[in-house]
Structure 1
Amino acid sequence: MKRRIFLPVILLVAFAFSCKEKNAEPKNETETNQWIYANMKYWYYWTDQITASPDYNKTPGDFFNSLLYKYDATARPDGDRFSWMQESAKELEASLGGESKTSGMEYKLVYFPANTSNVVGVVLYVIPGSPAAQAGLVRGDVFSSANGQKLTDANYSKLLNTENKTSYTLADIKDGTLKETATVREVTPIVLQEDPVFFDTVYTIGADKIGYVVYHQFIPEPFKANNQAYDKKLDGIFSEFKNSNINALVVDFRYNPGGYVSSATNLASLIGKVSANDIFYYKEYNKQVTETNLKKYGESYFYDKFTAKAQNVGSNLKELVFLVSSRSASASELVINGLKPFMNVTLVGGRTVGKNVGSVTISDEKKGIKVGLQPIVSKSLNKDKKSDYHVGFEPDVKVSEGNILFPYGDPRDPLLGEALFRITGTHVVRQARNARVLQEEEANELVSTISRKAGGSNMFFDK
């Protein structure tokens, strides 16, 4: 039986139903459901809420959902918003490693104009070398039609949820109005590995030197690699930051839905005013998992420490700013929460998702199980045993990026511009944003493709 570490890292134990078979035939639905039940009953954080009399006649997807202690704002405010199952364990594990079939373009869909059923897409970023990049799409592009049809809240799912070639008709937004152009970009998705370490630079503004890094997902390395390539890339960037004598840091998490806690520990250890003896975070499990692993591993099983990093910049920082949004979740929030006891942390943007819980990947292809589970198995707390962000972190400065986007690193970007102002006291480019504008623009957003990435707060195209 295979379990891949996600958030949080788990030193997994073998127990009664560990696998011994090799290359078994695919299981029928009842056998698959029995396997799902056994694993969920052991690992699930809310195991005491799982029924003792499950209906094994359901399809595996329905069966898995029937076991969940589902969130309800009134009846179950402490409930589960994040566990999921995929029909293909291979696809689940690949997506957690940053590999998926994609055009290489992440975007958000917004109602435009507001209070109508019309929808437009706004490109958030494009992976270099991807089909979208080769087609000429860039961050900030707006599209209003797909395959010749105007997008609405009734048809966007059918038009965009496809692995086939799609043509996007670009449009311009100017002075609050939309004008469709004659420009069409055709894109065909491919299986693609995403490098999450997307952009970095250093600003010199007066006496301040400010490091800026954009990080899209907590992934240590390419899928099936074992080289920590992406963690090492971050190490290299922070080495450059240190050599540049930065005294402030801006970390862009606005499109980061989470990922592996090993990478979260690595990044936090590069940033924090910490030592290798300091606790990064504690892990709280259900009673059964706690008792089993306390006996086997002792108290150290239930916390992770920071690691010593020669590239650490923490002692030089006068300001630490995270750019966040309603798409920032999980490991992104873990880093923020884990650093709060050690240094002042400023959040600029929108309220984060509020995922203070961790999951583990459970699969067993050798036993003939084709599905992959990603159940919540733990709750995360910082050194001070605080985990009070289940409704998300409220930003210190509310700012919306809006629907007219600028290239990464451009101070005209409202979030980055506000962060630079907080650090330097000077608006590099004057911004006029306020809470009312933020609320209006957040209300106009329908969904984004970030939500379907592994670790996202929900699955995209759920209509």
Structure 2
Amino acid sequence: MSLNPRVKKTWLGRWPGRAAALAAAALVAACGGGDGGPLTCSASDEKIWLREYMDDWYFWYKVSPSPNPDGYLSVDSYFNALLYQGGLADFPKADEWSYMVSQEAFDRTYGDGRTLGYGVMVAGLEVAGHPDWPLYIRYIEPGSPAALAGLQRGDRIMAVNGKSASQIISDNNYADLSPADTGDMVTIDIRNADGDSRVQLTATIYDLEPVPNSRVFSTPDGRKMGYVQVKDMIDQALSPFDTVFGQFKAAGVQDVIIDLRYNGGGLISVANKISSFPNGAATSGNVFASLLYNDKRSGHNESFRFQSYANATGLSRVYVLTGPRTCSASEQVINGLRPYVTVVTIGDSTCGKPVGFLPQADGCGAVVNAVNFETVNSQNQGRYFDGFDATCAVAEDFSQPQGSATDPLIIAAEDLADGFACPTLAVAAKSKLLGLRKPADRPQWVEAGERRGMIGK
């Protein structure tokens, strides 16, 4: 059994169909039969192929179940039955990351840089278990139906398709915000400063904007800072990110803030290149991350090295804004940089996903993303299943524009850059806006409407 020969890229990402998805990825072409996939696309052949593939490439193949496929009606249920159940001292958590996805959806994001959706992302993770708390919109994707309809971060969701926000929170079910096809519709009741309103959105396929926000500003003490948000670790992020750092360099910034609070991962190659900009001189040519496969596939172990870019700065410190959706390739930015520069994380603990995939097309219209490797930095540091704690814990305020002068995470970065202590986390803000919790204490699901990012396609 061999991997599809057209696999080219590895990635770390997350998918909404499973609670988390660390992924190492490639844009794979479908192929049927032989080593590239099942002999036919019958359920029985697909299940047999899956068992063989997992025994060959799955990171935990030695300790994962291998039940008889005849007892499972669907390919998806059999795939789930093959996953590692946890219990090893070094890998205590069960595999909640591996998943299967359609080839069409995978290629749409990682090839075309597009997605299907409404563009509404809510703060469901923050209010899990608290149906009496308000449910806010935390992010609207530029160019999406929600953006065109005028919805904004900080708008309060009152109901979705007639179901109250409290019921949605109680059920942990945000599926109505995640369409299956173009033309699907959702009705959202909104409350904001202008009053109550009802908006109906129609799902479309739209271009992603992976670097949606950047600016240069001065701290109260006069330090010049550069801020850039990276939403998606896809190839389309590289050109705008380079442009932004060119602006930073021309402005003579003394500190850089990279906002990864809503970035659930993606291509390792993109995380590698983004990490090469803060301090090109200190990092260029050195190991960014190494991928370590199972003993059958250790010949595929590889390292990614920091690149050299004309617009790279020479900073010895970088501020990274983090939260429970900072996953996978985004966490790898933190882990890869920390042997070389001071990484100051601001916000909440990250999600804790130090493993990844090499996606494999099954030849039947699906891509299998089973954990194939763990990732470590140049000092062999990895296995951060509890995530990275925030250096400075700060609650989000969804009523404030992300990355603005009134964003509490930006204010904290300014204070730290000016030599002050981390601001004290207000109890009221913590209880109503952000549940600062370790990954193990967070609900093991992702509200629908999140794709790629935590959400890797």
> Does TM, scored on the shorter chain, surpass 0.5?
yes
**Structure 2 Cα separation of the partners of residues 257 and 115 of structure 1:** 22
* Structure with larger Rg: 1
2:339 aligns with one of 325, 338, 341: 341
User: For 1:158-173, what aligned pairs fall within 5 Å after superposition?
Assistant: 159-163=176-180, 164-172=184-192
**Structure 2 Cα separation of the partners of residues 392 and 29 of structure 1:** 37
2:296 aligns with one of 267, 288, 297: 288
Number of the residue aligned with 1:227:
none
Deviation at 1:449, TM superposition (A): 4.3
Deviation at 1:442, TM superposition (A): 3.9
Number of the residue aligned with 2:16:
none
Deviation at 1:279, TM superposition (A): 0.9
User: For 1:281-430, what aligned pairs fall within 5 Å after superposition?
Assistant: 281-290=289-298, 292-293=299-300, 301-313=301-313, 315=314, 317=315, 319-365=317-363, 369-402=364-397, 404-425=398-419
Distance change (3 Å), C-alpha of 1:181 and 1:109: farther
Number of the residue aligned with 1:128:
142
Distance change (3 Å), C-alpha of 1:195 and 1:414: same
Contact map agreement 1:108 1:448 (CA 8 A) in 2: no
User: For 1:19-30, what aligned pairs fall within 5 Å after superposition?
Assistant: 19=36, 27-30=41-44
Distance change (3 Å), C-alpha of 1:340 and 1:115: closer
Deviation at 1:393, TM superposition (A): 0.1
Contact map agreement 2:214 2:228 (CA 8 A) in 1: yes
Deviation at 1:360, TM superposition (A): 1.5
User: For 1:183-332, what aligned pairs fall within 5 Å after superposition?
Assistant: 183-205=197-219, 206-221=221-236, 230-272=237-279, 273-290=281-298, 292-293=299-300, 301-313=301-313, 315=314, 317=315, 319-332=317-330
List alignment gaps of at least 5 residues for structure 2: 13-23, 437-441
Distance change (3 Å), C-alpha of 1:197 and 1:18: same
Please give the secondary structure, in 1, of the residue aligned with 2:97. coil
**Structure 1 Cα separation of the partners of residues 185 and 235 of structure 2:** 31
Number of the residue aligned with 2:60:
46
Deviation at 1:197, TM superposition (A): 0.7
Distance change (3 Å), C-alpha of 1:255 and 1:450: farther
Please give the secondary structure, in 2, of the residue aligned with 1:47. coil
Deviation at 1:275, TM superposition (A): 4.3
Deviation at 1:400, TM superposition (A): 1.2
**Structure 2 Cα separation of the partners of residues 399 and 72 of structure 1:** 33
Distance change (3 Å), C-alpha of 1:262 and 1:31: same
Deviation at 1:118, TM superposition (A): 4.5
1:297-327 residue CA offsets vs partner (Å, 9 max, x unmatched): xxxx5211111111111x2x25311000011
Contact map agreement 1:282 1:302 (CA 8 A) in 2: yes
**Aligned amino acid, residue 243 of structure 2:** G
Contact map agreement 1:121 1:144 (CA 8 A) in 2: yes
Deviation at 1:162, TM superposition (A): 4.2
Contact map agreement 1:257 1:450 (CA 8 A) in 2: no
Distance change (3 Å), C-alpha of 1:389 and 1:435: farther
**Structure 1 Cα separation of the partners of residues 37 and 164 of structure 2:** 53
Contact map agreement 1:211 1:246 (CA 8 A) in 2: yes
Please give the secondary structure, in 2, of the residue aligned with 1:171. strand
**Structure 2 Cα separation of the partners of residues 93 and 50 of structure 1:** 29
Number of the residue aligned with 1:226:
none
Contact map agreement 1:238 1:312 (CA 8 A) in 2: yes
Contact map agreement 2:7 2:27 (CA 8 A) in 1: no
1:240-296 residue CA offsets vs partner (Å, 9 max, x unmatched): 111111110100000000000110111011123534331111111100101x44xxx
**Structure 1 Cα separation of the partners of residues 242 and 175 of structure 2:** 42
**Higher relative contact order (CA closer than 8 Å, sequence separation 6+):** 2
**Structure 1 Cα separation of the partners of residues 133 and 202 of structure 2:** 22
**Structure 1 Cα separation of the partners of residues 92 and 333 of structure 2:** 24
1:307-356 residue CA offsets vs partner (Å, 9 max, x unmatched): 1111111x2x2531100001100011101101101011101110101111
Deviation at 1:160, TM superposition (A): 3.7
TM-score (normalised: structure 2): 0.82
- Identity, in percent, stands at 24
**Structure 1 Cα separation of the partners of residues 427 and 378 of structure 2:** 32
Deviation at 1:379, TM superposition (A): 0.8
TM-score (normalised: structure 1): 0.81
List alignment gaps of at least 5 residues for structure 1: 174-179, 222-229, 294-300
Deviation at 1:372, TM superposition (A): 1.6
1:18 aligns with one of 31, 35, 43: 35
Distance change (3 Å), C-alpha of 1:99 and 1:74: same
**Aligned amino acid, residue 62 of structure 1:** S
Deviation at 1:54, TM superposition (A): 3.1
- The answer to whether 1:433 aligns with 2:441 is no
Deviation at 1:207, TM superposition (A): 3.5
**Structure 2 Cα separation of the partners of residues 80 and 147 of structure 1:** 33
Number of the residue aligned with 2:45:
31
Please give the secondary structure, in 2, of the residue aligned with 1:307. coil
Number of the residue aligned with 1:224:
none
User: For 1:101-120, what aligned pairs fall within 5 Å after superposition?
Assistant: 101-109=116-124, 117-118=131-132, 120=134
Distance change (3 Å), C-alpha of 1:320 and 1:68: same
Deviation at 1:435, TM superposition (A): 6.7
Please give the secondary structure, in 2, of the residue aligned with 1:274. helix
Please give the secondary structure, in 2, of the residue aligned with 1:267. helix
**Aligned amino acid, residue 144 of structure 2:** S
Contact map agreement 1:253 1:322 (CA 8 A) in 2: yes
Distance change (3 Å), C-alpha of 1:372 and 1:344: same
**Structure 2 Cα separation of the partners of residues 192 and 425 of structure 1:** 43
Contact map agreement 1:144 1:150 (CA 8 A) in 2: yes
Deviation at 1:201, TM superposition (A): 0.4
**Aligned amino acid, residue 18 of structure 1:** D
Distance change (3 Å), C-alpha of 1:187 and 1:198: same
Contact map agreement 2:351 2:387 (CA 8 A) in 1: yes
Please give the secondary structure, in 1, of the residue aligned with 2:266. coil
